[in-house]
């Protein structure tokens, strides 16, 4: 039974991303490189956040989340600048094509989301192999490790969407998308604090928030795809 729950959590958190990796990212070497680069940049961002946390102890959770969201999005912008600077060179070497900028965002967003999920959930996942059960404080009838798997999946989708939206804005010299992504990143991250409250059904809050954001940004991305096709 323990192994069944372990594989259930594993497939819930990383099953869809694995399928996406095999079917969409894997066959395109460029996207694999972009995804790996994004993983590295995300790790740099979380290292910066950990330095803040180490040298300024006792910060409120909301402040930590705010700093973390801001640093991650600034690192995403740094990655965009690196790709933008290298774009002409990549085109000359036929590594990428000029009309594949949308795929830049997909590869980078996927890398950000995957590394975020691995770092945040792989340790709880390994611990879940043990026989004990860890109940969620907000919803004692539910296993917090399974809720973590669901949130890991949702945040992978969010990072993918955030990458597409904000890259689209930066390519057009617009920072409104960055503000939107930063605010929604903060809201989605802050909503996870409800898991450790005594609020009835507080465990549903982060899931609902993430699903609403995913639905709204899916419509936005659909509009972006249509606009790119017309261009």
Instruction: Output the tens digit of pLDDT for each of the chain's 231 residues.
Output: 577 888 888 999 999 999 999 999 999 888 898 899 999 999 999 999 988 888 877 778 888 899 999 999 999 999 999 988 776 665 554 445 544 678 888 999 999 999 999 999 988 888 777 666 666 776 767 778 888 899 999 999 999 999 999 999 998 899 999 999 999 999 999 999 988 877 777 788 999 999 999 999 999 999 988 887 776
> What pTM, to 2 d.p., does this model score?
0.91
Of 36, 15, 8, 1, the closest CA to residue 125 belongs to 8
Region class of 201: left (phi > 0), else alpha (psi between -120 and 50), else beta: left
Q: Is the C-alpha dihedral spanning 202, 117, 110, 49 positive or negative?
A: positive
The Cβ of residue 225 has, within 10 Å, a number of other Cβ atoms equal to 12
pLDDT at position 55 is 81
Please say whether the beta carbons of 154 and 214 come within 8 A.
yes
């Amino acid at each position: 039974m323990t192994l069944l729950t372990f594989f259930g959590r594993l497939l819930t958190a990383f099953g869809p991303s694995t399928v996406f990796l095999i079917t969409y990212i894997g066959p395109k070497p460029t996207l694999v490189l972009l995804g790996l680069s994004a993983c590295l940049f995300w790790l740099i961002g979380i290292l910066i956040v950990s330095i803040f946390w180490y040298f300024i102890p006792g910060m409120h959770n909301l402040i930590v989340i705010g700093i973390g969201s801001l640093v991650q999005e600034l690192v995403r912008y740094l990655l965009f600048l690196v790709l933008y600077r290298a774009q002409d060179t990549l085109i000359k070497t036929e590594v990428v094509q000029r009309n594949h900028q949308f795929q830049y965002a997909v590869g980078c967003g996927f890398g950000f989301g995957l590394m975020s999920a691995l770092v945040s959930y792989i340790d709880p996942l390994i611990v879940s192999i043990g026989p004990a059960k860890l109940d969620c404080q907000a919803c004692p009838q539910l296993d917090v490790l399974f809720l973590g798997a669901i949130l890991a999946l949702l945040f992978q989708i969010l990072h993918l969407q955030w990458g597409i939206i904000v890259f689209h804005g930066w390519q057009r010299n617009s920072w409104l998308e960055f503000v939107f992504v930063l605010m929604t990143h903060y809201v989605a991250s802050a909503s996870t604090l409800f898991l450790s409250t005594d609020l009835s059904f507080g465990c549903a809050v982060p899931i609902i928030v993430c699903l609403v954001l995913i639905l709204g940004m899916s419509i936005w991305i659909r509009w972006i795809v249509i606009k790119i096709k017309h261009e």
